[in-house]
Amino acid sequence: MAAERKSVLLRMDPAVHEALARWAADELRSVNAQIEVLLRQALRQAGRMPERAGPPARRGRPPAA
């Protein structure tokens, strides 16, 4: 059973959001997925990625129930 995803409100400069949205589009990701990828990279590089962290969310549509 997969862990429930946590929702977070994030405020950012509109220019930063626009740049992030372009970057996400270049990599065929949503802005949300791009933020998670970047945060996971930063946590790994800083040696702070928790061992209990699950895998990134699966890309694409969820499977039919």
Asked whether residue 22 is domain-assigned, the answer is: yes
What are 35-39's contacts with CB under 8 Å, separation 24+? 35/10
How does the average pLDDT of the chain come out, rounded?
Answer: 90
Query: Which residues form the domain of 31?
Result: 14-45
Check: pTM over 0.75? Answer yes or no: yes
Taking residues 48-60, report their average pLDDT.
85
Residue with tokens 């990134």: 56
Q: Does 3 score more than 70 pLDDT?
A: no
Q: What local confidence, expressed as pLDDT, does residue 20 receive? A: 98
- Residues 21-41 pLDDT 10s: 999 999 999 999 999 999 999
Contact 27, 59 (CB under 8 A): no
**Residue 2: which residues within 8 A CB-CB, separation 6 or more?**
54
Domain total of the chain: 1
Tell me, what amino acid is at 13?
D
Tell me, what amino acid is at 22?
R
